[in-house]
Amino acid sequence: MEEIDWDDESTIKRWCMEQRDNAARYMSEQPVKFGALGEWPAWHVAPYVSVWAVESVKAPGKVGWWVISGDLPTDYTSSAGTSDPRSAVATFSKLWLSAAERMERGEQLDHFTVGNADNALELAPLLKSRATLLSQWANDDSCWDNEAQAQRDCL
């Protein structure tokens, strides 16, 4: 099996476009109205995570939603209180950590699905690990100082 060169710009671009397609497909299945999806991630660390700005329908030209995609669950959140990708990553982390803890206790989750009820106990630690990593990245200034450098600093 050939090793992928994650320092290669064309590899990263291809991965980002795959994640954009994934984010677009996911949003089209959600019960919210949204505008255009960003052409490039608002923030990413390939091959782990990409965060996408989604235009608001109510306020064209403004971010209405954030979508996260990569080697983690694809999810979205409102931009209310999350004005930038860093705060969106922190929001996803908090939401997922809370969900993982509830899954571990066998509780039903309102408006949140990861797998199904039969595998919640199996998926809870995976969700918790992703939430923890997102929290670390959200709190690490080096991940946000310079987009090109952030890719390397966050690994």
Predicted confidence (pLDDT) per residue in 78-112, tens digit: 999 899 999 999 999 999 999 888 888 887 766 66
Rounded to the nearest 5 degrees, what angle is found at the Cα of 20, between the Cα atoms of 92 and 154? 50
Predicted confidence (pLDDT) per residue in 38-50, tens digit: 999 999 999 999 9
Helix, strand or coil for residue 151?
A: helix
pLDDT at residue 123 above 90? no
Amino acid at 127: L
Tokens 């066998």, residue located: 106
Q: How far apart are CA 46 and CA 155, in angstroms?
A: 9
Predicted confidence (pLDDT) per residue in 15-31, tens digit: 999 999 999 999 999 88
Task: Locate 129 and state its tokens.
Answer: 């690990």
Predicted confidence (pLDDT) per residue in 68-82, tens digit: 999 999 999 999 989
pLDDT at residue 33 above 80? yes
Q: How far apart are CA 53 and CA 120, in angstroms?
A: 29
Question: DSSP alpha helices (H): ranges in 29-74?
Answer: none
pLDDT given at position 8: 86
